[in-house]
Amino acid sequence: MYFIEKKVRLPAMKKILISLCFLVLTVSSSAWALNVALVLDKGGKDDKSFNSAAFAGVEKAKKELGITYKYVETMDDTAVEATMRSFAAKKYDLIIGVGFSMAEAVKKVSKQYPNISFALVDAEVDHPNVRSLLFEEHQGSYLVGAVAAMKSKTGKIGFLGGMDVPLIRRFAMGFEAGVKKINPKAEILENYIGVTGEAWNNPAKAKELSLAMFSKNVDVIFAAAGASNYGLFDAAEEKRKYAIGVDSNQNWIKPGTILTSMLKRVDVAVFDAAKDLKEGKFKGGTVRFGLANQGIDYAMDEHNKSLITKEIKTKVEQLKKDILSGKIVVPDYYKRNE
């Protein structure tokens, strides 16, 4: 009897000890290191625009919150899901999908791993462990539209979209409304680079389209096209016309050519998600970023100070106030059928 009892007891003791060790380990690791996985879309980490903003967000979280992170750039749609599953299986704490093309993968994987937190930029997934980060792009586009109209001498203004999807049409619609607010007679040319994800990374075609628009007397173009924006900036510098950047502050890329940038603070949204998780305040649901909480804005810095006169700035600030007070309602492509 004695022997049997001993045999039973020892493994039990061991188990308790081991689980205690694990407890200590897991508690300590969750207090010190948060593992964040960032899955970027086809524009890539160095698009200096949308994906770069997300990347800047985790970089900041690394510096200020001491998280560790890994990032992956998308290859094909099946790979996105497999990659997220790999991250989840490796027990990453937060998996961030950057771009609407990640929605389906986030939907599937977040269901399989209910204990892991997810964040999704530009699309909504209604699971308790997913935070959807949405932006009011039309508001910011309206403001830069007003800037474009005030700087244009020919009254012809261009819009260059990346992928032809509702999200980018939303930029276009807001932009057009902003232009018309200042100059109702202005003519607006609208072009899109493509219909697949490759459109985010095709500066050559962006340049062709920009040059074509400039040759039709357009003198300001706003591009919402990820890494393809470079094509516009090149064309604008060559032809001595104006360009407007998007998502990140792109003013520094070609000072004197880039009037301003429509800021979409993906970096703030991503950083906040990591911060909330670290502080135990992470909740699922949709978070909206707009002019009101500076998630959307237009960029002013030393690179474009000489381009934006005081009158322009005052006018734009006035428009901003009017949008915030509800005096101006910017048309929203998502609500076009209402």
For another protein, the binding residues (CB under 8 A) are 37, 70, 72-73, 75-79, 82-83, 85-87, 89-90, 100-101, 103, 112, 122-123, 163-167, 195-198
3-state secondary structure 91-154: CCCEEEEECHHHHHHHHHHHHHCCCCEEEEECCCCCCCCEEEEEECHHHHHHHHHHHHHHHCCC
DSSP string, 178-226: HHHHH-TT-EEEEEEEESSGGGGG-HHHHHHHHHHHHHTT--EEEEE-G
Looking at beta carbons only, is 76 or 301 nearer to another protein?
76
Closest CA to 119 of 240, 283, 327: 283
Shortest gap between Cβ of 138 and another protein (angstroms)?
A: 15
Shortest gap between Cβ of 158 and another protein (angstroms)?
A: 22
Looking at beta carbons only, is 158 or 162 nearer to another protein?
162
Looking at beta carbons only, is 83 or 132 nearer to another protein?
83
Closest CA to 231 of 249, 197, 212, 208: 208
Spatial distance between the Cα atoms of 203 and 224, rounded to a whole number of angstroms: 12
Shortest gap between Cβ of 176 and another protein (angstroms)?
A: 20
Looking at beta carbons only, is 170 or 275 nearer to another protein?
170
Q: How many CB atoms lie within 10 A of CB 319?
A: 23
Shortest gap between Cβ of 201 and another protein (angstroms)?
A: 12
Closest CA to 97 of 81, 75, 114: 81
Spatial distance between the Cα atoms of 144 and 174, rounded to a whole number of angstroms: 9
Looking at beta carbons only, is 197 or 299 nearer to another protein?
197
Shortest gap between Cβ of 77 and another protein (angstroms)?
A: 6
Shortest gap between Cβ of 161 and another protein (angstroms)?
A: 13
Angle, vertex CA 327, rays to CA 325 and CA 331, nearest 5: 105
Looking at beta carbons only, is 60 or 85 nearer to another protein?
85
Looking at beta carbons only, is 72 or 300 nearer to another protein?
72
Find residue 287's DSSP bridge partners.
133
Spatial distance between the Cα atoms of 99 and 119, rounded to a whole number of angstroms: 11
Look at residue 240 and give its three-state secondary structure.
coil
Find where tokens 């619609």 sit: 173
Shortest gap between Cβ of 51 and another protein (angstroms)?
A: 15
Shortest gap between Cβ of 90 and another protein (angstroms)?
A: 7
Shortest gap between Cβ of 157 and another protein (angstroms)?
A: 25
Spatial distance between the Cα atoms of 224 and 55, rounded to a whole number of angstroms: 18
Length of the chain: 338
Looking at beta carbons only, is 156 or 288 nearer to another protein?
288
Spatial distance between the Cα atoms of 234 and 96, rounded to a whole number of angstroms: 32
Looking at beta carbons only, is 252 or 334 nearer to another protein?
334
